[in-house]
Homo-oligomer: A and B are copies of this chain.
Amino acid sequence: MGLVVQKYGGSSVADAEGIKRVARRIVDTRKAGHEVVVVVSAMGDTTDELIELAEQVTPIPSGREFDMLLTAGERISMALLAMAIKTLGFDAQSFTGSQAGVITDSTHNKARIIDVTPGRIRNALDEGNVAIVAGFQGVSQVSKDITTLGRGGSDTTAVALAAALGAEVCEIYTDVDGVFTADPRVVKKARKIDWIAFEDMLELASSGSKVLLDRCVEYARRYNIPIHVRSSFSGLPGTIVSNDNPNKPEGGEMEQAIISGVAHDTSEAKITVVGVPDKPGEAARIFRAIADAEVNIDMVVQNVSATSTGLTDITFTLPKTEGQKAIDALGRVKDGIGYESLRYDDAIGKISLVGAGMRSNPGVTATFFEALSEAGVNIELISTSEIRISVVTRAEDVPEAVRAVHTAFGLDSDSDEAVVYGGTGR
């Protein structure tokens, strides 16, 4: 029996009862003969309450101090969890990110892990302890200041420790039963996925699925650490994210497209730069200005230019929260680039179909667009990758669009079987 890393999110440890329930689950894993490292988030709304306190004190919190403040949250949950485990008769010790050897760069509020030196964790395990580690935090390599890892930081902590300690699996416990073929709040008939490849999970994550963030999946893929996403409430098996399907059908891989799911995202806005001179270097100048403003962009679309004018339009999507920053940055370079105007639209939504073997199966794209058309959904932008098709529509059309696509690909839980397309899959 090997080493298991388990990560519990804030909703799993929201109160004393939750902490005791999680402690029992950890002890069960320990009793099954595994060494256990637990990564824990702050309890329930603790982080939001700390952020609110900071807002009451200052309009612009210092990055260093904001990290010092927020890391108090995991300190509370991890100590309580260690106490609860000891009450069940098992040894446990809690460790801050710094004590656990999570070394980061110095970018406060969204630091990146640059090394993991889990010597104290290894010792604690060797002495028979369950090691409880604060998620979401580390210590900067140069200044030795406390840092936080930003969004999805606790999941990334868990995967990074799993990689550094050679764990056999990283279990991510959450308040849902796993990764679904679509958001169950939108699609009542969404099905839990038993297994999904890293690449497909990455596309789902970057297309709006909230269960895992792309950053954590990317880390797991790089170090080949299987992730098991499951519920801390039900105890049922969840979704395995790995390189190889553990329950691969006999006869090996079939050459067919395997649709993983439908993701959607209504957190983005769309900016169109209208009337850009269609000559080399113009797009580069636009996106350099955006990058210098530290704005992350998602889809980028440029149509062929109208030959009569020699002008083209460039459209891209980005988080709504960064919209103003991008508009300001582009405004500053208007004269240098010479575009005509900017259009900003935040009433959009994105629907993405993710699955292997899609590009080599033309039927997939056709079915996708037919489903949207029959649902009366107008498509504003299209973007594709090897294993994903995404479209941008009006935000209010998103729920209907997701349901239509989900049904069209036989993903509904009452379908007899998934629709299979012949072709060169993996």
Contact = CB atoms under 8 A, between A and B. Distances in A.
Contacts of A58: 83-84, 86-87
Contacts of A86: 58, 62, 65
A302 to B, nearest CB: 43
Contacts of A54: 79-80, 83
A78 interface: yes
A87 B94 CA distance: 34
A21 to B, nearest CB: 11
Contacts of A64: 82, 93-94
B65 A69 contact: no
Nearest to A75: B72
Contacts of A59: 87
A64 B79 CA distance: 9
Nearest to A71: B75
Interface in A91-147: 92-94, 99, 144
A247 interface: no
Given A69-B80, A76-B69, A83-B66, A57 B94 contact: no
A394 interface: no
A192 interface: no
A107 to B, nearest CB: 17
B71 A83 contact: no
A193 B282 CA distance: 76
B61 A83 contact: yes
B61 A72 contact: no
A70 to B, nearest CB: 8
User: Counting chain B CB atoms within 10 Å of each CB, which of A19, A66, A80, A144 scores highest?
Assistant: A80
Nearest to A64: B93
Residue from A60, A73, A75, A83 whose CB has the most chain B CB atoms within 10 Å: A83
Interface of A: 15-16, 19-20, 50, 53-54, 56-62, 64-66, 68-69, 71-73, 75-76, 78-80, 82-84, 86-87, 92-94, 99, 144
Given A16-B53, A19-B57, A65-B79, 11 more contacts: A15-B56, A53-B76, A54-B79, A58-B84, A62-B83, A62-B86, A64-B94, A68-B79, A68-B94, A69-B83, A71-B75
